[in-house]
Amino acid sequence: MMLLHYEVVKSQPELFQTFTSLKPAEFAALLEHFTAAWEAYHATTGRPPEQRQRRAGGGRKITTLPTVADKLFFILVYYKLYPLQSVLGFLFGMSQGQACDWVHCLTPLLRQAEAAMQHLPERDAAQVAEHLADDEAQRFAIDGSERRRQRPSDPADQRTYYSGKKKAHTVKNNVIANITTRRAEYLSQTHEGKKHDKKICDEEAPTWPEGCTVYQDCGFEGYAPPGVTVQQPKKKPRGGELTPAEKQQNAAISRVRIVVEHVIGGIKRCRIVKDVFRNTKEGFDDAVMEIACGLHNLRTAFRT
């Protein structure tokens, strides 16, 4: 049986992008930083020289993911396709338990590589203004992204995570996108899906550069940070109609605000943040969304 390996797929660019969401050149750039993260991790987890019975590199060889490129390819396949871990193990010639161990081993290294390339979104709400200050156009859009998760077994968690809007158990993040560069500039913390978009903003209070313009939808009704120009479509009055001028203005706002929808769509090219989330490790639902944003920003940087 032929196992899935980096060397098998790298010569077929279209297939490679289907498996990883990245083009070979993008993968190569990420691999350089991922290799540095792997070497640093390996140096801290190995035994110290005085405890060794043989030289470094001796002992049983790992045949399933023999190279660093294979390790990066493995974790990108998991994020892009999000197969069951038993299926992932079958594709790469390992058990389900080994696949699970590799997923949780390589995920923080992937994040470190994205951080080294400066593709991760800002997570500290107090630092958002400083993070966005260098942009010349100073036009941004904000929106919420709700993701389904498996139904929790605990009754209290079931009530917490049930979203009446989606008729499912969900989690949510707010995303701030740059209108010009189409980058995901800020990712809020992960909240229960039923929490309102504006309430997340009120609680986290992301800062904004003075004089910038923020485009938002009606889910942020009433959100107006000081020193910021807010552009939001006008709601149709109850029992009335919008004027032609108001409809035209709403259309103009929507044509700009749609960028944040496209950014969220780019983030969700990774099916791990699109399909029903199955992993149960605490905090992992937040980590995968951050990494998916980083992969979107990486692709955007190369393709613009």
Query: What pLDDT, in 10s, does the model give residues 147-202?
Result: 999 999 999 999 999 998 889 999 999 999 999 999 999 999 999 999 999 999 99
- Could you tell me if 240 and 262 are in contact, meaning their C-beta atoms sit under 8 angstroms apart? no
Taking the model in full, what pTM does it have? Answer: 0.92
Q: Give percent of the chain with pLDDT exceeding 90.
A: 87
Higher pLDDT among residues 247 and 61, named by residue = 247
Mean pLDDT of the chain: 93
The four Cα atoms 20, 25, 26, 32 give a dihedral, to 10 degrees, of 110
- Could you tell me if 167 and 146 are in contact, meaning their C-beta atoms sit under 8 angstroms apart? no
For the cut 90, the answer to whether the pLDDT of residue 90 exceeds it is yes
Q: Considering only 57-61, 165-169, 296-300, which range has the smallest mean pLDDT?
A: 57-61
For the cut 90, the answer to whether the pLDDT of residue 238 exceeds it is no
Counted residue by residue, the chain has a size of 304
pLDDT level of residue 43 (50, 70, 90 thresholds): confident
pLDDT level of residue 39 (50, 70, 90 thresholds): very high
pLDDT of residue 165: 85
pLDDT of residue 239: 86
